[in-house]
């Protein structure tokens, strides 16, 4: 992993653990907490040039990314929630370089199964925005256990050098498929588990190559039951 990124993340983990010990901090549920948002901004600041960001989901992260990036694309399955995001992000209103879109969750192929996710095959403009982004955040679909399709989509289309961030690794299903993808694709990605807030998974893309998918029997059965 990029030494600057690796050093930043490891220092943030140490600072976070000390902060929790000293204050008794507990991350709020259902939103991306402030320590995670602050880390996203610091990661964007590591780039030598201004970067674009892409996020599956919206909310507090939108405000953080707009404050740190030259352009942010936010994809939501709920128009109502996206409107609430714009109210919340009033301090950083949508610029000409920002883009928001409502894409309903539909049945998407995931190996031999399907899952409810964002099908970007019919949205070439969104897919292009994802491909140009230096940071990609996956904080949706709302059920973290069903985010594997969105993660695979991001890993396949991200440009070399991009950082893909997956939230909610405190959920074991999410943790298992993230670490499995990181392990099976170590030639193409560096993976780092970041145990702050709800748990983050960082993938740094090193090269373009075919994504290796080797789900365990337990994951296959679990995905079948969720669908």
Domain-located, residue 56: no
Residue 6, class by beta-carbon neighbours within 10 Å (0-12 exposed, 13-18 middle, 19+ buried)? middle
C-alpha neighbours within 13 Å on the C-beta side of residue 127: 10
Total domain count, the chain: 1
Cα(113)–Cα(109) distance, integer angstroms: 6
Domain span at residue 139? Answer: 3-25+45-49+105-121+133-226
- 227 versus 121: which is more confidently predicted? 121
**Is 95 contained in some domain?**
no
- CA 5 – CA 51 distance, rounded (Å): 15
Report if residue 197 sits inside a domain. yes
Average pLDDT, the chain: 90
68 within domain boundaries: no
pLDDT tens-digit map of 171-180: 998 999 999 9
Average pLDDT for 81-99? 87
Please give the pLDDT value at position 121. Answer: 82
pLDDT in tens, 4-31: 999 999 999 999 999 999 999 999 988 8
* 111-155 pLDDT, tens digit each: 767 788 999 888 999 999 999 999 999 999 888 878 888 999 999
Residue 220 has pLDDT above 70, yes or no: no
Q: Does residue 211 fall inside a structural domain?
A: yes
Position 86 in a domain: no
Domain contains 128: no
Domain for residue 66, yes or no? no
């Amino acid at each position: 992993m990029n030494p600057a990124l690796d050093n930043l993340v490891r220092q943030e983990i140490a600072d976070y653990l000390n902060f929790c010990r000293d204050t008794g901090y507990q991350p709020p549920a259902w939103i991306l907490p402030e320590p995670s948002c602050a880390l996203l901004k610091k990661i964007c600041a590591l780039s030598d040039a201004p970067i674009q960001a892409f996020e599956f989901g919206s909310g507090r992260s939108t405000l953080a990314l707009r404050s740190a990036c030259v352009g942010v694309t936010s994809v939501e399955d709920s128009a109502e929630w996206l409107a609430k995001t714009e109210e919340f992000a009033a301090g950083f209103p949508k610029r000409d370089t920002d883009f928001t879109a409502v894409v309903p969750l539909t049945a998407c192929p995931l190996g031999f199964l399907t899952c409810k996710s964002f099908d970007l095959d019919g949205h070439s403009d969104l897919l292009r925005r994802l491909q140009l982004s230096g940071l990609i955040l996956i904080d949706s679909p709302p059920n973290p256990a069903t985010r594997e399709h969105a993660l695979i989509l991001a890993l396949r289309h991200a440009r070399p050098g991009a950082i893909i961030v997956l939230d909610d690794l405190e959920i074991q299903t999410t943790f298992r498929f993230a670490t499995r993808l990181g392990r099976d694709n170590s030639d193409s990605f560096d993976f780092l588990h970041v145990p702050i807030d709800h748990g983050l998974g960082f993938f740094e893309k090193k090269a373009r190559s075919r994504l290796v998918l080797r789900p365990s029997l337990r994951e296959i059965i679990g995905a079948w039951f969720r669908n």
